[in-house]
Amino acid sequence: MPTFRANYPVEAAHMMTKRTAATVVIANALEFFDYFSYATFIAFINKAFFPHSSSAAGMVYSFGIFAAGFLARPLGAILIGLHADSAGRKPALLLTSLLITIGTLGVAAVPGYSTIGLAAPTLVLLCRLVQGVAIGGEMGVSASLMMESCPPQRQSWYAGWLMAGQGLALIASGLCGMAIVQVLPPAEVERWGWRLPFALATAIVPLQYLLRRHIKEDWRKPTTVLPVRTYTSGHGRQWLIALLLIFGGTVPTYMAAYTAAFGVGGAVPTAKLTATATMLVGLISVVASVAGGWLADHFGNSRIIALSRVMTMIVVFPAFRFAASAGSDSSLLAAIMLFAGLSMAGGGPAIVEILRMFPERQRALSLSLVYSVGVALFGGTAPLIVASLNLWAGSHYAPTWYILLACVASLFALLLLAGSRSESAIHPAQTN
């Protein structure tokens, strides 16, 4: 298996600073703030851009536009990942900040269908594509920078904080959604209030850009840039394992968001309940991500990943059934929190294991591409798949089978993992 000489000097290892960690976490949080804000206000977005569609069809159209952004991520992973592996992590992160600003601002500012007709959903689609390109390279570059800068014995703990950014985004989007529905009358929320979270996200990006400009990075530009085929040649097993690990962690998390937006058993939650669920899931996600990373540093990544997936398989159907039969807000919230907590506990350890499988010179693009492809295939399309299954089969338990399949795939990946790590350590200073 090929290895590559480090581009970082020995003293660059363990250069993790509070600014670096905060920048990475903020970037990850911003990605999911946009996603969960979209899920929280999906009904209003549907009315703004698809006013002549039925409620169910409009939801499918709205999530279809959302999925299109995910499908653009692989292109961004390749372009931004190559830039990060050749020019350095910092320039790539600055580029993603600029692109995310353009995409998020567009979603906040595009007029509705009643004003500009078909141009409205078309422009929103273009904005989601720009966001997708930017975010496609975000995870791989951010995770590589964080992991290459932290002490070896705390890799999973820092990765847990990286994943906790998703929980922080949930809390922020939940608070934002709660404030909007409490302060504004429903008519105003429908007319313009739903745009406020995206405007807020746009305001956050410049802060992210300023933080990233001050990141200290000792990167020596390589004399040659590796062709894209080098990233896949001889690494088929690693790519398969990584995709299956992403599958197992992504689906339960995104199903938690789907359940918060659509409920269980046919009763669609109110916007207030959705915002409450979002905040509680965010809180449990932060705790579970950090705790899972800490446990993985002490007991091993594979054990924590396996435990989280097995526990999810055990509780998923009883939890959905309880939430549907009880029919109360508290039962729905309990089910959502359970799925999110178990899934996020294995998120950080899974990211570390994926990074360890690839050489340093290929790390940013490899993780960006496998993460973007995996999330596009299994996460971005999950709400669309489940919504379509519900319409086709009339079953409100479709998410349970999809979650079970994802967990089985993740456990199979762990069986393949042992002999598939790259000889290159996660710290480039340790690469021979």
Summary mean pLDDT of the chain: 79
Q: Which fold has domain 17-216+231-421?
A: Growth Hormone; Chain: A; (1.20.1250)
Neighbouring C-alpha atoms within 13 Å toward the C-beta of 331: 15
Contact at 8 Å (CB) between 243 and 375? no
Which residues lie below 8 Å from residue 13, measured CB to CB, with a gap of 6+?
Answer: 148, 149, 427, 428, 429, 430
Closest Cα partner for 43 from 202, 220, 212, 180?
Answer: 180
Contact at 8 Å (CB) between 250 and 302? no
Q: Calculate the alpha carbon distances from 121 to 37, 57, 245, 290, 422 in Å.
A: 17, 14, 34, 38, 44
pLDDT band for position 307 (cuts 50, 70, 90): very high
Burial class (CB in 10 A: 0-12, 13-18, 19+), 423: exposed
- Indicate if the pLDDT at residue 350 is higher than 90: yes
pLDDT band for position 172 (cuts 50, 70, 90): confident
- Indicate if the pLDDT at residue 57 is higher than 80: no
Residue 214: predicted pLDDT: 74
Task: Tell me what the mean pLDDT of segment 106-113 comes to.
Answer: 87
Which residues lie below 8 Å from residue 415, measured CB to CB, with a gap of 6+?
Answer: none
Is the Cα dihedral 319, 322, 325, 327 positive or negative?
A: negative
Q: Which of 2-16, 48-62, 260-274, 314-328 has the highest mean pLDDT?
A: 314-328
Q: 395-421: per-residue pLDDT in tens?
A: 667 778 888 889 999 999 999 987 655
Closest Cα partner for 191 from 320, 47, 380, 342?
Answer: 47
Per cent of the chain over pLDDT 70 is 78
- Indicate if the pLDDT at residue 305 is higher than 90: yes
pTM over the 0.85 mark: no
Residue 262: predicted pLDDT: 58
Residue 328: predicted pLDDT: 66
Question: Higher pLDDT residue, 5 or 387?
Answer: 387
Residue 65: predicted pLDDT: 78
Residue 271: predicted pLDDT: 63
Task: Tell me what the mean pLDDT of segment 33-61 comes to.
Answer: 73
pLDDT band for position 311 (cuts 50, 70, 90): very high
Task: Tell me what the mean pLDDT of segment 57-75 comes to.
Answer: 76
pLDDT band for position 349 (cuts 50, 70, 90): very high
Burial class (CB in 10 A: 0-12, 13-18, 19+), 216: exposed
DSSP 51: T
Question: What residue segments make up the domains of the chain, in order of their start?
Answer: 17-216+231-421
What is the spatial distance between Cα 281 and Cα 255, in angstroms, rounded to a whole number?
A: 12
pLDDT band for position 9 (cuts 50, 70, 90): very low
pLDDT band for position 363 (cuts 50, 70, 90): confident
- Structural element, H or E, at residue 64: helix 55-71
Residue 326: predicted pLDDT: 62
Q: Calculate the alpha carbon distances from 367 to 66, 116, 374, 399 in Å.
A: 22, 39, 10, 27
Residue 181: predicted pLDDT: 82
Residue 207: predicted pLDDT: 77
Q: Calculate the alpha carbon distances from 139 to 160, 320, 413 in Å.
A: 13, 31, 20
Q: 419-429: per-residue pLDDT in tens?
A: 655 444 444 44
Is the Cα dihedral 248, 249, 253, 254 positive or negative?
A: negative
Task: Tell me what the mean pLDDT of segment 108-130 comes to.
Answer: 87
Closest Cα partner for 380 from 210, 170, 132?
Answer: 132
What is the spatial distance between Cα 193 and Cα 297, in angstroms, rounded to a whole number?
A: 43
